[in-house]
Amino acid sequence: MSSPLEPGDGAPRLEAGRCRDCSAVTFPLRERCPSCGGDLERFLLPERGTLWTWTTQGFEPPSPPYLAEGSGFEPFAVGYVEFDGLLRVEGRLTESDPERLRIGMPMEVVALELGDRVTYAFNPVDE
């Protein structure tokens, strides 16, 4: 799996797992449910959530494991987005200006091109 992004026909979604026994939702999808050891079925998270916390990455991460984007490092932000009633998922944010990030703001899942890879990110939604 190169990314948990599920492009789909409409809005991109994130692939998670839901336990057939205890219904717990797990991200990323694993072999077994970490709560009860039960079987997991594929489960797509909602398109939108809210920003639960965030920070910035002000220096280039050690590479590997980071796949450098090529032409010079640009600081980026990361955060956890809360999907209502389910769980909080970590990922890169499309907005890196601390002045424009606020805990509780609505976010949507988007595709993010990093070099020749495509992964997911969270993008602020205009309220």
Partner 1 sequence: MSAQPEIAIVGAGIHPFGRHDGIGGLAMGVHAVRDALADAGVTWPEIQFAYGGSEDAGNADTMVADLGPTGLPFVNVKNGCATGGSSLVSTVLALESGAYDVGLVVGFDKHPRGAFRNDPADWSLPAWYGEDGLMVTTQFFGAKLQRYMHDHGIPSRTLAQVAEKAFHNGALTPHAWRRTPLSAEEILAAPMLAHPLTQYMLCSPGEGAAALVVCRREYLARLPEARPVWLRSVAFRTRRPGSFEVFSPSLPLELAPSPSVDAAREAFERAGAGPGDVDVAQVQDTESGAELIHLAECGLCEHGEQAELYATGATGIDGRLPVNTDGGCLANGEPVGASGLRQVCEVVTQLRGEAGARQVPGRPQLGFTHVYGAPGVSACTVLSR
The site for partner 1 (CB under 8 A) is made up of 1-4, 16, 26-28, 34-35, 52-59, 61-62, 64-67, 76-80, 82, 85-92, 98, 103, 114, 117, 119
SS3 for 46-111 is CCEEEEEEEEEECCCCCCCCCCCCCCCCCCEEEEEEEECCCEEEEEEECCCCHHHCCCCCEEEEEE
Q: Which is nearer to partner 1, 69 or 108 (CB)?
A: 69
Q: How far is the CB of 64 from partner 1 (least distance, A)?
A: 7
Cα separation, 124 vs 49, whole angstroms: 10
Rounded to a whole number of angstroms, the minimum distance from the CB of residue 62 to partner 1 is 4
CB of 93: closest distance to partner 1 in angstroms?
11
| Token pair of 70 as six digits | 């090529």
CB nearer to partner 1: pick between 39 and 90: 90
